[in-house]
A and B are shown apart, each in its own frame.
Chain A
């Protein structure tokens, strides 16, 4: 039973099937989105929230077809604006579990402003941002997460754009739950999804997702057998941050506060950074976000930050309750008569 994400849970035995709609899924064969959809559908029944209490809101882009495939309430909305619609819905209806499904273009380019303000307010939403580092639905232009130098249809001479670091952006916007997962690593992804759903406030999950048509192999260094062990830095709360085939590499903090990857054997065990998701002060999480400048090198995976902060909709509700307790339920007749009035006989 999970109460974090809006809806109060139920004990009814639900299955993955309860969250699958009858619509034919229409992503390209081999698209990373299938794995995320399946993971979400398999996590939902474990949350104890019935399908009619769940709303999935999306923007525009490949990822944003997601709501059609969920047997929940859903809205496929406007490019970039899913967070605004979800904010209105979650504020009006704190009893619902509201999810936003978006992509790197939808959330970080046209919807960037809404994303940071949603995070700052800590609206009770779970945001899944599928990051494939490319525009898919418009057939292959660079996105705000595409690496410098990338040759695309709109950058035939290579991109001269500095990409966003989505985790750093979310932390900079005071995100209270910020995580990264891989579409292809289902056990890890479902674990992060469960934790995100349990978090009250805005949960932001960046999911690295391969676009096999326009940006195939973007995450190979993190996902293929030959490299993943060297490059995945698994963040686990309370544990020293080590990685590699034999945990031979480790993360340490330098005197200036920045982080560095070292050979584990070259430092004392006590010098290795111990991951603390619940650390209120965000600079260490921010430094972790900057350990990697892209998925082609050792990159942290997992929950960077999970802290408590007042939730927007909850405070809105509290003010309504307080006003009604103090003034009584609103009386239109009295309102219209307030101030200076006079009688004409």
Chain B
């Protein structure tokens, strides 16, 4: 065995890319787990096509998974990869733009056949010509070596054996970056426990990849990325969708109400439904409706029945749910609506991310129907966002929109697991007695302008609510013009008043003398923070703020904006928050908008800031 040198590095970005059937998401996910267990901080970016099994070898069928890991805190999945694992020519072609100069390419040379090269639009084999001379290229016949490794496994078909090539790649990269192997091996054993031959084949492939790295003369060095110095405690990896689902379960517990979750399958929100459907022992009732409209309607029904009621969707479903949102707004019923935004309009780019739904969340209903809107900033932040949305919904008897997105939904980050005992009490009191001369008036308001909720089944408090305008207090239908205007203002005032019940907007300005403020919302948090870090490392001053509460804005938002000479608003859309800020605060904020279906690169924002400091 050749003795390899071990080099320490601080951060690495690896991109696994292959056909959508090559198991790249799985490979990336397993590498992430091993990396997290090892103690590195990390951020991931799954990037896959809308087609489940696109034609083999095609450019549009390439599925990628990028992971950024480090010995210090990580904010983004990384601008450019240091290492590209390309399982075929199409994967190489589509991913090369994301590879850093002089980066490493590990290519499955077996897949660089004439047919695959042609499908990817190569006129000559890039592994053989000098087009990749700016990179370190390793050609490895992964398919052949995987087949050879599994040759002794009995009962394994050639097709099954070949499918283990992603495990070969995983083994090889695990060796390169000194990842622990036991975590992955245990997972393979568990995953394929019911199919001993497939398990043995995958294990053999994984070990062969690892051993190949160790023994082949190909690689001069092995790399180590030391564990990050995160706060002490127990950690796990979590995706935004899982955190959202668990946040709703936590909110149900903290409210002391059963969770009713109605949804219709839609990318990229379906995993929330999948996760909650498993958790029946938490008393979670899930309902897969016939359409988005019915899901929202059923959620209104569940809310009327006194459950913590929620629904989740993405843009196309949001269009359809606005009808029920308007009803819940006029009824004043608590309802949580999670919009996992994707690139629109219409079907748009179903598997790609975007922040395009801020305006529909704010103004998507006919008539005057303001609702609170919040936006988590990272995958783990979705947990707290689901609880906070539930708190606001229950306390103020209003629908609340949570703007997650495709990036948060599918990407993972390490999460310091919260202690359930530390979560806030969000319980509310239902009406049990008449509140007006022996009668129950459903629209008598408390100091928060919230109305009493009497749950069906409560003796003596029978009442009727509806979508027709009604007089305040008693709640009878009213067509009185002055009353209608009063009710519009009452509902708006109630939502606006929530600003008294949320924390002020924090500003990160270590210099205390920056002239430019960068303000964002939602999943661009990591990229904006990383960009500001780089600008400051370059000796320039920049202030940064991030809005979790989009409606109402924190009370000090205007004051913060006016403190700076220049305001830059990076968004993954065509400029939406910037319009709200300009309209609300008369501040000459500038937009930096990007809408390519992918998260910002920190470098994009860094460049924009540097143009202005």
Are the C-beta atoms of A92 and B260 separated by less than 8 Å?
Answer: yes
For A86, list chain B residues within 8 Å (CB): 301
Which of B99-107, B304-312, B354-362, B519-527 contacts the other chain? B304-312
For B466, list chain A residues within 8 Å (CB): 67-68, 74-77
Q: Which of A291-345 contact B (CB under 8 A)?
A: 316, 319-320, 322-324, 326-330, 332-333, 335-337, 339-345
For B250, list chain A residues within 8 Å (CB): 332
For A15, list chain B residues within 8 Å (CB): none
In-complex Cβ contact of A74 among B33, B260, B464 (8 A): B464
Q: Is A279 an interface residue (CB 8 A)?
A: no
| With contact pairs A67-B464, A76-B467 given, residues A85 and B234 touching in the complex (Cβ less than 8 Å) | no
For B467, list chain A residues within 8 Å (CB): 60, 76-78
Q: Report how far A339 CA is from B282 CA in the complex, Å.
A: 18
Are the C-beta atoms of B306 and A93 separated by less than 8 Å?
Answer: yes
Q: Is B374 an interface residue (CB 8 A)?
A: no
Q: Is B151 an interface residue (CB 8 A)?
A: no
Which of A51-59, A140-148, A209-217, A247-255 contacts the other chain? A51-59
Q: Is B463 an interface residue (CB 8 A)?
A: yes
Q: Mark B189-230, 1 if CB is under 8 A from A, else 0.
A: 000000000000000000000000000000000000001001
| With contact pairs A75-B331, A75-B466, A345-B232 given, residues A332 and B302 touching in the complex (Cβ less than 8 Å) | no
Q: Is A81 an interface residue (CB 8 A)?
A: yes
For A87, list chain B residues within 8 Å (CB): 287, 289, 294, 297-298, 301
Q: Is B583 an interface residue (CB 8 A)?
A: no
Q: Report how far A36 CA is from B7 CA in the complex, Å.
A: 84
Q: Report how far A98 CA is from B300 CA in the complex, Å.
A: 14
For A57, list chain B residues within 8 Å (CB): 301
Task: Give min CB distance, B383 to chain A, whole Å.
Answer: 9
Q: Is B119 an interface residue (CB 8 A)?
A: no
Closest to B311 in A: A88
Are the C-beta atoms of B323 and A78 separated by less than 8 Å?
Answer: yes
A: contact size bracket: 35 or more
Which of B68-76, B401-409, B454-462, B549-557 contacts the other chain? B454-462
Are the C-beta atoms of A88 and B281 separated by less than 8 Å?
Answer: no
Q: Report how far A87 CA is from B260 CA in the complex, Å.
A: 12
| With contact pairs A78-B323, A341-B234 given, residues A89 and B290 touching in the complex (Cβ less than 8 Å) | no
| With contact pairs A88-B299, A333-B420, A335-B249 given, residues A73 and B237 touching in the complex (Cβ less than 8 Å) | no
Are the C-beta atoms of A330 and B283 separated by less than 8 Å?
Answer: yes
For B463, list chain A residues within 8 Å (CB): 73-74
Q: Mark A195-227, 1 if CB is under 8 A from B, else 0.
A: 000000000000000000000000000000000
Q: Is A113 an interface residue (CB 8 A)?
A: yes
Q: Is A50 an interface residue (CB 8 A)?
A: yes
Are the C-beta atoms of B331 and A92 separated by less than 8 Å?
Answer: no
Are the C-beta atoms of A78 and B324 separated by less than 8 Å?
Answer: yes
Are the C-beta atoms of A336 and B420 separated by less than 8 Å?
Answer: yes
Q: Report how far A322 CA is from B253 CA in the complex, Å.
A: 20
Are the C-beta atoms of A96 and B327 separated by less than 8 Å?
Answer: no
For A72, list chain B residues within 8 Å (CB): 462
Give 30 pairs: A residue, B residue, CB < 8 Å, sorted on A.
A52-B460, A60-B467, A68-B466, A70-B464, A75-B466, A76-B465, A76-B467, A78-B323, A78-B324, A81-B324, A84-B289, A85-B300, A86-B301, A87-B297, A87-B298, A88-B287, A88-B302, A91-B260, A92-B260, A320-B281, A324-B283, A328-B281, A329-B282, A330-B279, A330-B284, A332-B420, A336-B236, A336-B246, A341-B417, A342-B236
